[in-house]
């Protein structure tokens, strides 16, 4: 599969800093950014609104094929409606990870995601960006952090967005979601073979971005 533009993939479990690090990296490079988790979260929301069970694969595939999603700055629009608040809760993340194991759903979202690889380049964040969606990416990064650090970050992030959260409960939800993502047979959460592993437990966001930019720069130098 050849790509229309260079792609950098940033995969890893929830709360490892993927979103912030990827968005900042994309901004520094002047590249596009794909938050693939938002697709699964938006689909989960759409399913709930349409009273479709989260294991009804044929109905979910149909929804996925017709998903009208748009990213505008850091806001997500579903059928023209701003849905950020509705898809950012931990409950929405849980719903997303229940539909994400369905092979048909994942297949239906492939073209949409691949179409995001446009010049001058794309930074894509998710679980299977490097392993499945963009196997030809020029630089693949797998961000991790301890479960405690990830729960703490998610806690701060959600609090900042005005959600009422409990850190203990969040820790349990995050580890449960990790288990589900890592143990599914289709596109499990796992580093691509050629991915660089970056543990962000002891790093600030700025330091993590700096590390990622160094990796991207050497990949770009090599690809010239």
Site of interaction with ligand C5P (CB under 6 A): 14, 36-37, 40-41, 93, 96-97, 100, 126-128, 177, 181
CA dihedral 70, 121, 88, 211 (to 10 degrees): -170
At closest approach, how far in Å is the CB of 221 from ligand C5P? 28
Instruction: For residue 109, give Cα distances in angstroms to 23, 37, 89, 106.
Output: 21, 11, 22, 5
The nearest distance, CB 182 to ligand C5P, in angstroms, is: 10
Kindly report each contact of residues 66-70 with a partner whose C-beta sits within 8 Å and lies 24 or more positions away, as own/partner: 67/39, 67/42, 67/43, 67/109, 67/112, 69/38, 69/39, 69/42, 69/112
Cβ-based nearer residue to ligand C5P, 148 or 176: 176
Q: Smallest gap, in angstroms, from Cβ of residue 72 to ligand C5P?
A: 17
Q: Which is nearer to ligand C5P, 140 or 177 (CB)?
A: 177
User: Which residue has its beta carbon closest to ligand C5P?
Assistant: 37
Select 87 or 209, whichever has its Cβ closest to ligand C5P: 87
Name which of 6 and 14 has its Cβ closer to ligand C5P.
14
Q: How far is the CB of 21 from ligand C5P (least distance, A)?
A: 12
């Amino acid at each position: 599969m050849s790509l229309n533009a260079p792609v950098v993939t940033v995969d890893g479990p929830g709360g490892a800093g993927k979103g912030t690090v990827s968005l900042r990296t994309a901004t520094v490079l002047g590249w596009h950014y794909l938050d693939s988790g938002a697709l699964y979260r938006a689909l989960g929301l759409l399913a709930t609104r349409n009273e479709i069970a989260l294991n009804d694969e044929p109905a979910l595939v149909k929804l996925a094929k017709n998903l009208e999603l748009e990213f505008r700055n850091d806001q997500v629009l579903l059928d023209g409606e701003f849905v950020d608040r509705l898809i950012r809760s931990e409950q929405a993340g849980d719903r997303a990870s229940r539909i994400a194991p369905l092979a048909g759903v994942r297949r239906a979202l492939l073209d949409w995601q691949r179409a995001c690889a446009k010049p001058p380049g794309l930074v894509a964040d998710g679980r299977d960006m490097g392993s499945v969606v963009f196997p030809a990416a020029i630089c693949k990064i797998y961000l991790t952090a301890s479960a405690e650090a990830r729960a703490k970050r998610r806690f701060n992030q959600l609090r900042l967005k005005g959600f009422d959260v409990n850190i203990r409960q969040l820790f349990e939800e995050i580890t449960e979601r990790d288990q589900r993502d890592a143990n599914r047979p289709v596109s499990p959460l796992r580093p691509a073979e050629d991915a660089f592993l970056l543990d962000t437990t002891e790093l600030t966001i700025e330091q993590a971005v700096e590390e990622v930019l160094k990796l991207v720069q050497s990949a770009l130098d090599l690809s010239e």
